[in-house]
Homo-oligomer: A and B are copies of this chain.
Amino acid sequence: MSEPTSAYRFAVNVTPKPGILDPQGKAVERSLPHLGLAGVSGVRVGRRVELTVAAADEPAARAIVDRLAGELLSNPLMEQYEVEALGEAPAPAAAGATS
């Protein structure tokens, strides 16, 4: 195993694929009149997962995030994901350091 030299923070944005029914998004749209808000449409509700990866460099860290996003964080039949780099993490956090 190679020494990790840096820690990188990423976000994985998981959203329902176009055409897939999104009941949570519809529920938000139906709540809008109660708030007195108009002009809002196309609401899609997904997940955002933020995480830190310790790896030798940014491409290596991104490869881990890609695997995680495709195999654990999203359902490839109904969801799509997008990986967003949030920059280098201030310090490599030990796993389980915060509760």
Q: Which residues of A contact B (CB under 8 A)?
A: 1, 4, 7, 9, 11, 13-15, 19, 21, 25, 28-29, 31-32, 35, 37-55, 61, 64, 67-68, 71-73, 89, 92-99
Q: Which residues of chain B are within 8 angstroms of A53 by Cβ–Cβ distance?
A: 39-40
Contacts of A54 in B (CB 8 A): 39-41
Cα A99 to Cα B95 with chains together (Å): 41
Chain B residue, CB-CB nearest to A94 = B41
B11, B35, B67, B71: which contacts A72 (Cβ < 8 A)?
B35
Contact of A52 among B4, B42, B72 (CB under 8 A): B42
Closest B residue by C-beta to A73: B28
Given the interface contacts A35-B67, A41-B96, A97-B41, does A48 sit within 8 Å of B46 by beta carbon?
Answer: yes
